[in-house]
Structure 1
Amino acid sequence: MNNPWNNRRPSARPPRATPVTRPAAPAAAPGGGGRGGDELRLFGLNAVLAAFAARPDALRKLYLLEARIPRLQPVLKWCVANRVGYRVVEDGDLNKLAGTTHHEGVVADVQRAPVLALDAWLQQLPQGPVLALWLDGVGNPHNLGAILRSAAHFGVGALLLPDASSLAISGAAARVAEGGAEAVPLVRLPPSSQALQQLRSAGFGLAATLVSGGDDVFNAALPQRLVYVMGAESEGMDRGLAAQCDLQVSIAGTGAVESLNVASATAVLLAQWARLHRH
């Protein structure tokens, strides 16, 4: 009986693509790459390579174009050694698998990284400066991906998710993050009052980020251990939560536009903290 998975050992000579009679590729899950439960469908070269580098045992299945075989040789060899299925397919199959044409020639099903509890994350923190982002309502996957990319670039310690938030990494977010989704852990917060107490007990100050009305972030005294609280794309952050923060900061601009996109604002805020506390 033929094995539908193309698990032959990679060699210097790229194998031929799977014949046209191959089994049909599974359809993309709703939501641009989410698989539901404990599994996630990734697409994009850097997203897949970052997941493999950080958590090779999380890889469940791999689909790729023949042209990607040389670049993905280490992954394919690992698949053969560990009996993980991979399949050489055509571009149209990857379009269906990913639900987009922006797959860069590779799609992977992986086990999701665990979301940490706040107390567990706090216990493993090093001494000294630490920066985290509290995402109060951010929901757009492309914004989440861009935030993760900036967070990875500036060495953010975690993305903190409210207890009732349904936000999770999707395939689209991971692709936009360009590997950043594997570099920044997700942390689930307890209810706000408890989260504020735990973070302050660990030496963190909290800065509400406001479109206007806050202190100019470029002149603000940002503490070494800081949590920026980022609001939703359209409504901004919850005013009650903003009032409970230690600082309220804004990014001054020309006024030619109402505000920066939340992902662009995040990059500016992270850069300012890093300028003060990273050497």
Structure 2
Amino acid sequence: MLRVAPQRIVQLHVAVERKSDARVQGLIQKAEAASVPVVWVERSFLTKWIGHGRHQGVVATLNPDARTVTLEAVLPNSMEYPNPAARQLLTPPLYLVLDGVTDPHNLGACLRTADATGVRAVIVPKDRSVGITPVVRKVASGAAETVPVVFVTNLARALEQLKASGVWVVGLAGEGDRWLATCDLSGPLALVMGAEGEGLRPLTRAHCDFLARLPMLGVVESLNVSVAAGVALYEVVRRRLPMR
């Protein structure tokens, strides 16, 4: 947060017990460079303040995130990119669609991988998602500030908008009729991942151009959604980037 969106930080609260810690000193230096106030408190105060979460001795209080990212703003034919802080993205655009991911650790991990693989936007349904919670932000390690997250009311309609804009919509499912590695991944692409346990909903499946699958050579039937997203996104990157 200090690196990519310091303007959103109101104060940095730091446990006095970590005052001599080298890593904490590095954070303090970044905070001072960004004119972010630092408040020293007892670790017990932080523990009581945030409840069941893990704070590791440092907690930032933030201004509300006023960004409202619309699907129209991230479509291939849009000249606008909603997050100027993000680095150069892969061309043509790559999207990650998450159908009902409710575990904050999974969503945070997906955002982190989306940032690493140049995803233009992560698209999630409003009523079947955990939202951007403090746990999501922590697991995402800064990616919640760099990757636009588009919350849509109707996911099926959003997939149709993507297809109308020239995006190839590929659902990942164990019963997919082809390996992802054999698919054409060169054009504008949206990878659609299902929820933990239940996978893609029937209506979501119906709005994909086709279903693809990843190799499963062991006894388990499926991968964790964040792991599957990482494997699939890096397959796209591997195919698109020139080998050096």
Structure 1 match to 2:130: 167
Percent identity between the two aligned chains: 34
Structure 1 match to 2:27: 71
Report the CA distance between 1:85 and its aligned residue.
Answer: 4.8
Contact 1:206 1:246 survives alignment (8 Å): yes
Does 1:117 pair with 2:70? yes
Any stretches of 5+ residues in structure 2 without a counterpart? 82-88
Structure 2 match to 1:53: 3
Structure 1 match to 2:45: 93
Structure 2 match to 1:41: none
CA 1:127/1:166 → structure 2, altered by over 3 Å: closer, same or farther? closer
CA 1:214/1:181 → structure 2, altered by over 3 Å: closer, same or farther? farther
The structure with the largest alpha-carbon Rg is 1
CA 1:211/1:127 → structure 2, altered by over 3 Å: closer, same or farther? closer
1:38-71 CA-to-partner distances (Å, cap 9, x unmatched) read xxxxxxxxxxxxx233222211222112242453
Contact 2:172 2:192 survives alignment (8 Å): yes
Number of residue pairs matched?
A: 225
Contact 1:161 1:167 survives alignment (8 Å): no
Please give the TM-score of this superposition, normalised by the length of structure 1: 0.73
Does 1:200 pair with 2:200? no
- Give the alignment of 1:1-279 within 5 angstroms: 51-65=1-15, 66-67=19-20, 68-79=24-35, 85-100=37-52, 102-113=54-65, 114-122=67-75, 123=78, 124=80, 128-279=91-242
**Paired residue secondary structure (1:64):** strand
After TM superposition, the runs of 4+ consecutive aligned structure 1 residues lying more than 6 A away are: none
Structure 1 match to 2:85: none
Please give the TM-score of this superposition, normalised by the length of structure 2: 0.82
Any stretches of 5+ residues in structure 1 without a counterpart? 1-50
CA distance in 1, matches of 2:171, 2:91: 22
1:78-103 CA-to-partner distances (Å, cap 9, x unmatched) read 44xxxx65311122222233335632
Contact 1:132 1:228 survives alignment (8 Å): yes
CA 1:225/1:54 → structure 2, altered by over 3 Å: closer, same or farther? same
